[in-house]
Chains A and B, each alone.
Chain A
């Protein structure tokens, strides 16, 4: 496998296994994966929730979960056995923890290729018409999942840390030349 990019099928297998295990074990729910797609940005639904984690190591980037507010409430309800008519702190916390578990197990699975990766605590944002992009404009790989009447997307973006450092160096060099 290339040292410059990770095979999408390899990532999809790891993400699929992690998401199925977390939803099956913690929520008792079967989810159905769809075909992953690349994308520069992931726009959330009209009123949505985005949960993001930073990944660091020899490869660096982000992982996350993106869904509608309704789906976030459903995830929290299944997880905590309570009804949530709207997104509140408990819903954000539950979505953050689910993201933490899925991305955490995903990055453990791909460790044979990427080496050990560190992971930040999740940041969960709720709002309207959100778009997520990465500095460096590296593409997200988006992994759609459905269950019952709900759908959500896991997403990941990883690039070699050296490539990112080199890009930052080039940007600074370019800025200095143009002063």
Chain B
């Protein structure tokens, strides 16, 4: 599985890579972007099977990225999992309504990642 991780924190991107591998997800290539704009640039070259995106980021936040992806003919079917401390019911619903396939609350454990990727594989 090819994965694009979008988060403005380098530390969080590193941790996500480690936790995804430790959770037993079969990983192909992982690429990283520090905000929504850089993610869109990355997607011109890289074809991930799933995007994990933070919400609260500078330049282009995760919800704006989600809107751009869902508005694109070529990218609209790409599964996006949002990951954020902003895990109020309203924020989760907003993400799902905009087209996210799931939501991970920070802090997260290996079990959380395993569960979300397991659901993705079933779909």
Contacts and interface: CB of A to CB of B under 8 A. Distances in A.
Interface of A: 21-22, 25-26, 76, 79-81, 89-90, 93-94, 96-97, 100-101, 104-105, 108, 111, 116, 119, 121
Task: Say whether chain A's binding surface is mostly helix, strand, loop, or mixed.
Answer: helix
Nearest to B110: A25
Contacts of B85: 100-101, 104-105, 108, 119
A35 B11 CA distance: 30
B86 A80 contact: no
B56 to A, nearest CB: 6
Given A21-B107, A90-B10, A111 B88 contact: yes
B57 interface: yes
A94 B11 contact: yes
A121 B12 contact: no
B57 A93 contact: no
A94 B12 CA distance: 8
B86 A104 contact: yes
Given A80-B15, A97-B9, A116 B90 contact: yes
Contact of B11 (A97, A104, A111): A97
Nearest to B106: A101
Interface of B: 8-12, 14-15, 18, 56-58, 84-88, 90, 106-109
21 contacts: A22-B107, A25-B107, A26-B15, A80-B14, A90-B11, A93-B11, A94-B11, A96-B9, A96-B11, A97-B11, A97-B12, A100-B56, A100-B85, A101-B85, A104-B85, A104-B86, A105-B107, A116-B88, A119-B86, A121-B56, A121-B58
Contacts of A101: 85, 106-107
B10 A104 contact: no
Contacts of B107: 21-22, 25-26, 101, 105
A6 B11 CA distance: 33
Nearest to A76: B11
A116 B87 CA distance: 11
Contact of B9 (A21, A25, A100, A111): A100
A19 to B, nearest CB: 11
A80 B11 contact: yes
